Structure 1
């Protein structure tokens, strides 16, 4: 199987996450351990967004992009062409603050950032433990434990104690986009500042306009990119959006 080609794009035109270098390094390291080989190309040059230059890439990782990180309508059109031609997009944490004027981009990521409380410990619920984005991460990394057996034979329930910025969105992603498949939610009773109630999605995936997208609101701190469970989910997102799995 020839290697997949993955574009890591981390340009910012707003808040810039200090963890970007650590995240790029971790993504590059994933390419050496992935069951499906892939290469990475990291850049912050938006001129790469043309149909021709994006064509080789199976997946675009939008790594903490913010503000108007694309600088022309033709660049946005190239991202749309990538998706509509079956390409994948993995959007990480701050990516939900990107392109605030584009309703299409908000649909691609599945949620537009509104605000967040101070970073703090919270309890993540594993909503779909069987999905390939999540399955390989179970029991790996810090703070992820099985809480009890599920209702059906072979099922189990998991939760994950994690410190992050717990994003609130302009609208509840699961309500605003009924075709999102929620993978993780956060228990608002475990921290202060949540605005979505009992079910607060923080990671999801979707089939979108011919392509696939995966978004996780986790990943504010450098330490996330050293966590085996978190990086297993990022790898799962890359492989799922590239249609290697699921």
Structure 2
């Protein structure tokens, strides 16, 4: 694979097998020598890999100049130095990874100089404070980045002033699409998010994925998304659920509210 210059897209799944230094060396060489466009890497067993070999692999992967899309799952970012990563790709998806808020902050500090326009962070194990400090830093730095599409799911949002303050940070971001997912969205958080969005002039699409949310709060979010003061081309609110289908009369009511305000409400299950 290392010498084959025809492989530009590669998907690797080895989450049930131990990784060894030689495995990482071969992958590192491939990432450095070939015009890689898409790389999906699912790994979980890193215990036998030398930390220096692991760091070299991450540098080759994140700094690959030809990479358009990178998807990584089940990675453990312990002891990884993010200051040496350039984030050359346009699309980055990080799912079910293990790291600390300190490491998320380090990652966030690299985003202003990155090429990333689409960023997804799902179901990660932060281990300390549910990742709040790292997530706070990430959203604070968004206005300095080129990120237009952001997905943050499997969050642990709760009814607290700090999460309400976090929601208010989206007022100043330059996103076009925001996707949020949490087991519960308290009304206090929704009120803060709604106020932020109403004052934001770039967010065209807001999607809530697999959340428990009050019906009244859905009305509040639609009203904020479709407010006449928002000078955006599209005003779309999307609700995605894995649970039983929403009452048809409620869907009709929400759809009508959005349409009246020249917006769109979309409900879907998956």
Which structure carries more relative contact order (alpha carbon 8 Å, separation 6+)? Answer: 1
Q: TM-score, normalised by structure 2?
A: 0.32
Which protein has the bigger strand share? 1
Q: TM-score, normalised by structure 1?
A: 0.34
Which protein has the bigger helix share? 2
Larger radius of gyration: 2
